[in-house]
Amino acid sequence: MTWSLPEPILTVAVDSPDLPAGWAAEPKWDGFRAQLAAYADGRVLLRSRQGTDMTGSFPEVRAAALAQLPADTGLDGELVVWESDRLAFERLQQRLARRGTGAAEAARLWPAHYVAFDLVHAGEDLTGWPYERRRAALEALFVDHALGTPLTLCPSTTDPDQAGQWLGWTTAGLEGLCFKRPDEPYRPVRSWRKYKVRVTTEAVIGAVTGSLVTPRTVLLGRTTRRAACNTPAAAPRCPRPPAAP
């Protein structure tokens, strides 16, 4: 029986980093949102949120899906590249246009991780299952099949203190937090909540092109004060994408 990846569930931005009572939180990675499918006939599909086929650009992820995932498995997650103790989004952008030998060389220089945060198919359609049941099945998938690099299990917590600690990883490229309701099925609507860290600093405006009301460009002079961030104190280092349990 053939099956297709579902349209991705989307997020709505929120202003508060506080974990809503009864919800689960996950780190929001600075990478490419991607769904990954491994079919019984040996086909692998890695596609972007917009539906772009990225399989050829990330041969190491395709190889891992073929070698490690059971047949007819569909995942939702994030592609990330780790370089010099931080997430390097620019490397992902450089890799996206490469195919064939160019993609293989890029995989050697800037290997990607696939950080899985949802399981949408496991021999059957799981999109009607609530998040907490899909999450339990995802964790079992990693344990039962000993999934390893570059496939990585995204952490999840219902502990507000733990979620707050993850915000300390922003210095290494973490974008913020994603909040998910435990009883929610997987549907292509904006129902996950996303808190994105915003960094502010003081600057002096030196020049403006266009009008003052709707400027096209602004020349800024930065003061000597350090930037302030609306998150808890940043940790000095961020751990690599966490391995499966």
What are φ and ψ of residue 151, in 5° steps? Answer: -80, 130
Pairwise CA distance, residues 69 & 122, whole Å = 10
Specify whether 180 is catalytic: no
Structure tokens at 123: 């021999």
Structure tokens at 31: 């990478």
Pairwise CA distance, residues 89 & 42, whole Å = 30
**Which residue out of 28, 180, 194, 196 is catalytically annotated?**
28
Residue linked to tokens 């709505």: 12
Pairwise CA distance, residues 19 & 183, whole Å = 16
User: Which residues are known catalytic residues?
Assistant: 28
